[in-house]
Each structure stands twice: as structure tokens, then as C-alpha cells.
Amino acid sequence: MAAAVIRRGGQIFVARRPAHLHMGGLWEFPGGKVEPGESVQDALARELTEELGIQVHTSSPLIQVPYDYPDKSVLLDVWEVNDFGGEPAGLEGQETRWVTPSALGSLEFPAANKPIVDAACLPPVCAISRPAESLQAWLADLQAGVMRGVRLFVLRPPLGFSAEPEQLLKAVGSLTHAREVQWQWHRDLFANAGAMPALLAGASNYGVHLPSTALSGPCEALPEGVGLISASCHSLAEMQAAKAVHARFLLLSPVAETKQYASHQLLGWSAFADWVAGCQLPVYGLGGLSLGDVAQARAHGGQGIALQRGW
């Protein structure tokens, strides 16, 4: 099954599945079956012409989601289409809409679509905060990243200075364009897990990031109301554990050689691709990578890359 996240001007095109079909009445990313002998890309281009009347110029892989419904198993191979000709319309009478990524959450999609909606909303680059001499310098570093277009940060200790969580949350919230950024707060920044929901409830773009150490051994579920959960993983077991605590995206490392993760098994893109294929979540490659590796990560099933330096 090929499906498309079609983007234009910051919006995404969605259609409603006709009532008589499997998952009828729910919203979908347009697409259809891959015919024997056809590539997924060709199938997608054909389906989008038949169903919506557009001509796909280029498409790039976004995420693959295998899913078992009680009555049917599907493998949704989702591609991003940013470059196309024509004006999409429901040529088969289906209801259609352009929506902002943040509005996708209020539409009802089939169950398999949850990670696809997340992948459609998450950017290709995840920046990891760096220690600084002071709160002011730390904030200036983040602000520079935001101004250069970074839209996802994992904020992690050590900070290089001491500050209370309340102070950090308030300071980050006051950055220019802070509301357009997803901020993932490392769990260890909060001494008291019980206080996290109340602190994070202040902004819908705040979430919690779990270190891999939180995923080995019996994992405690996070309290309700902590927002989007993400996690760092170095093994298949940790990826499974992250899913069990409802993580919605992962950082998987080390993909390439780097001093920071020297004690962990080096993955390379091939093992990265194998592990991501079974995961059903957006996964960022981390370790020894630079901005130029985004296309590699995408080609190997990843959402993109995570970086501590060079963002």
C-alpha cells in the first residue's frame, strides 16, 4: 500500500475514505495498492493521478507502517510529495481538505495512521541542547538554532549551570518562535517525576525525553499529561521498551563512529534500516552524523537525523 503526505505552503492534503471501503468514513493520506511489477513510487504517482488528478514530480520516503487490523493486515509505505502539478481534488467523490500539521490530530484516522501523523508533523532534524556557562548563553544557543529553522529540540543535562525546572520552562517559553518548536525535556531535568505533568501542562509543545537508561529493566510508565514522549535507544530491546511506555519517536545511536557513544555497538545505516523497519515509529539517526546525512537517514527508513553539534 502506497500513501502520500502531500504538502503545499505548510499544509497537508487529506481525504475521507468512502463509507463502503475498509476503514470507511475515516480520513486518510491518499494512495492505493501497488500493482504487480510496479514500484511503490510509480504506484503512488498513478494512484494520485487517478484519485486526485495531480502529477507527482518528485517523492521521498517518509515512514513504513506494518499494521494488523482484526480483519486485514496492511503495510503502509508512506512517501512525502512536495513537488507536483495540478490542483488535487476528490475525483472519486471523496471529501478532501488541506489542513495544517497541528490540525491533523483533530481528524479521525485509522489506527495504523498514528505514527504517520507523527511523522508528518515532525521535522527532519532534531537538535540536542549543549551545555553552556550560564542560562543566558544556553538560551542564546537555542535561540540561534530556532532562528536557523530548527523545530525540534531535546533539552538535556548537563546544562553547565544550575537552574530549577520552573525557571528553564519559563525561559524557553519566552524565546522568539518558541511556540512553533517541539521541546522535549530530558526526564533527568526533573528530580520529581510526579511534578512533571503539572510543569509540562503549561504548553502543548512540551514533551518528555527518556534516556536509554530508563528503558533497561522494568520501566515505569510516565504519569498522564506529560505530552509527547520520546526516547534514546541503542538496542532493539530498548526500542521495544520505549514503545511499551508509549514513546512516539526515537533517537537511535550510534549510526556512525563518534567518541560520545564509543561504548555502544556501532550500527551503520544497514542495521539502522533493519531496526527501524520493525519499529513503526519515527526514528532519528544519531551519532557521528551531520546535516548532510538527512537524505541517507530518509533512504534508510528514518525520520531524519539528531545532532548535538552542527545544528
**29 assigned binding-site residue:** yes
Alpha-carbon gap, residue 54 to 42, rounded angstroms: 13
The nearest distance, CB 103 to ligand 8DG, in angstroms, is 16
Footprint of ligand 8DG on this chain (CB under 6 A)? 1, 3, 21-23, 28-29, 31-33, 72, 74, 76, 110, 112-113
Q: What DSSP character marks residue 255?
A: S
Q: Which is nearer to ligand 8DG, 74 or 271 (CB)?
A: 74
CB 253 → ligand 8DG: shortest distance, Å? Answer: 30
* Cell numbers describing residue 199: 510543569
Rounded least distance, CB 8 to ligand 8DG, Å? 18
**Grid coordinates belonging to 185:** 525535556
180 annotated to bind ligand: no
Annotated binding residue 190? no
Q: Quick one: 36 or 217, whose CB is closer to ligand 8DG?
A: 36
CB atoms within 10 A of CB 264: 14
Provide the grid cell at 268. Answer: 551503520
Report d(CA 249, CA 120) in Å as an integer: 12
> Is 31 known as a binding-site position?
yes
Residue 205 in marked binding region: no
Q: What are phi and psi of 220, to 5 degrees?
A: -90, 135
19/191 with CB nearer ligand 8DG? 19
Q: Does the annotation list 7 as a binding residue?
A: no
Q: Check whether 187 is labelled as a binding-site residue.
A: no
| Nearer to ligand 8DG among residue 32 and residue 173 (C-beta) | 32
CA 275 to chain centre: 16
Rounded to whole angstroms, the Cα distance separating 35 from 42 reads: 9
Torsion angle (degrees, nearest 10) of CA 292, 295, 297, 301: 170
User: What cell does 229 get?
Assistant: 514522549
3-state secondary structure of 281: coil
Name the residue nearer to ligand 8DG (CB basis): 110 or 287.
110
- Residue 23 corresponds to which cell in the numbers above? 476503514
The sign one gets for the Cα dihedral 210, 219, 112, 107 is negative
- Rounded least distance, CB 41 to ligand 8DG, Å: 15
Q: What is the rounded CA–CA span in Å between residue 132 and residue 140?
A: 10
Quote the least distance from Cβ 20 to ligand 8DG, whole Å: 9
Annotated binding-site residue? 47: no
Residue 31 or residue 301: which is nearer to ligand 8DG going by CB?
31
Cβ 101 to ligand 8DG, closest distance in Å?
A: 15
Residues annotated within a binding site: 17, 22, 28-31, 51, 113
Residues annotated within a binding site for 8-oxo-dGTP: 17, 22, 28-31, 113
